[in-house]
Structure 1
């Protein structure tokens, strides 16, 4: 019981720290198995088991593979580790999926069966906003409602009101960010455009965007290239930011940007669901 409590304590700590991991739980055992129902383990993306225990090598390989797959598509799965003769009786092969269960062969002498539920725990997607414009503030508020971890980076002197954000950075030096998939929007409205863009292009993200006209972005592009920044890196920045919805108000512009980010965020998941449908 104590070990179980320690695992769940660590789960809570890792969730709070916005870390990526898998929680594996033994839900059923038949015959002799090293781990029993209720046993849990925390698995990092590199395959390291940092807490708990779900048995030895008989099940570890299958569970670790399921953990990698779960982190890749964000979907939980069930793994059933069974001896060869039971797989034959069921008419399935090791590695085969049936009715949402992935079957694996138990090569150990115990010949027991163990079903393990593998659940990915992913940090909230990260939205980094550089600037304190009305669009930036509205974008932060709307993104928080959709479950994003929001960081706003802006010189304190440029803020007219306290933003709705998880993290507030004074200036454009971001420091350490969460492990989550990241989206970056520059919305400076003329205050520190170059400095903010310089930070944006140096920060890894799935999406980079600038709230401003193409003409303005082109002028800033020339200045950044003159500083020695690679043109190809700068050209990853979408300008103007957002889908063309005919948006006028800061709230509408923020909504159009979130719509574009959502489309980018869900693209891989939609493809995955289409393949499994």
Structure 2
């Protein structure tokens, strides 16, 4: 690989942007296709499918073979609330190769003892989320049940292009949440992005079961386009 291509690939990785290195198997010629340029590429369909799957592989077009080396940012789950569900969710998410960050300004809950080996930010979401950033490879999960903490996080998520937003609470709780966020200028189209009540309906009761339902919904949302294409 040319040094310039490697440098460009590293730059995309640092910026949490997806990219694909296309290698012509016969000639060895290589080019880097950034995610924003996929639609205009001759291999657009193959590139889009590779991005959906998040896997590298060999494709063929007009009798020529190309190896697609796919680089996508690690999927990040930003959890608002250092609660029991979060304690169960964090290690499960790690086993799925998801990066987890816990945010909770309540220092009595946000302790390293309760969340070992997990990035933990004892800050208010509206203060820290702009710093860590929310992109299309980010899921935002609001679990505190406290509007003072959850609402600013949800507002930040709704203003972003994150792929998943979920909020804990009953339908009545969510109705009140919608009323509050409506006052901040959000619309029905925005609220349609929020999974509430959070998680797939598997009859979950315990914190661990609720964590399973949340992660299942995150994965289902992440792989939505792939599921539709098969």
Query: Does 2:223 align with 1:270?
Result: no
- Which of 62, 67, 71 is the aligned partner of 1:103? 62
Distance 1:240 1:124, change over 3 A: same
Return 9-18 or 245-254, whichever deviates more: 9-18
TM-superposed CA distance for 1:20, in Å, is 0.9
Distance 1:205 1:179, change over 3 A: closer
Distance 1:218 1:205, change over 3 A: same
Separation (CA, whole Å) in 2 of partners of 1:182 and 1:188: 19
Distance 1:43 1:214, change over 3 A: same
User: What residue in structure 2 maps to residue 65 of structure 1?
Assistant: 42
| 1:99-138 correspondence to structure 2 within 5 Å | 100-103=59-62, 115-138=65-88
TM-superposed CA distance for 1:203, in Å, is 3.0
TM-superposed CA distance for 1:169, in Å, is 7.0
Query: Does 2:33 align with 1:43?
Result: yes
TM-superposed CA distance for 1:171, in Å, is 1.6
After TM superposition, the score normalised by the length of structure 2 is 0.76
User: What residue in structure 2 maps to residue 217 of structure 1?
Assistant: 174
Question: Aligned Cα RMSD in Å?
Answer: 3.2
- Which of 239, 243, 267 is the aligned partner of 2:200? 243
Distance 1:249 1:226, change over 3 A: same
TM-superposed CA distance for 1:186, in Å, is 0.7
Structure 1 residues 228-249: Cα deviation after superposition (integer angstroms, max 9, x where no partner): 4334423432221112222222
Q: Is the 8 A contact 1:133 1:189 kept in 2?
A: no
Distance 1:177 1:249, change over 3 A: same
Separation (CA, whole Å) in 1 of partners of 2:134 and 2:185: 28
Query: Does 2:19 align with 1:21?
Result: yes
Which secondary structure does the structure 2 equivalent of 1:185 belong to? strand
TM-superposed CA distance for 1:147, in Å, is 1.4
Distance 1:224 1:67, change over 3 A: closer
Unaligned runs of 5+ in 2: none
Distance 1:45 1:189, change over 3 A: same
TM-superposed CA distance for 1:150, in Å, is 2.4
Unaligned runs of 5+ in 1: 30-36, 49-60, 79-99, 105-113
Distance 1:12 1:135, change over 3 A: same
Greater Rg, structure 1 or structure 2?
1
- Which of 140, 151, 158 is the aligned partner of 1:184? 140
Q: Is the 8 A contact 1:151 1:169 kept in 2?
A: no
Which secondary structure does the structure 1 equivalent of 2:25 belong to? strand
Q: Is the 8 A contact 2:164 2:194 kept in 1?
A: yes
TM-superposed CA distance for 1:9, in Å, is 5.8
Distance 1:136 1:72, change over 3 A: same
Separation (CA, whole Å) in 2 of partners of 1:267 and 1:220: 26
Separation (CA, whole Å) in 2 of partners of 1:70 and 1:170: 39
Q: Is the 8 A contact 2:20 2:70 kept in 1?
A: yes
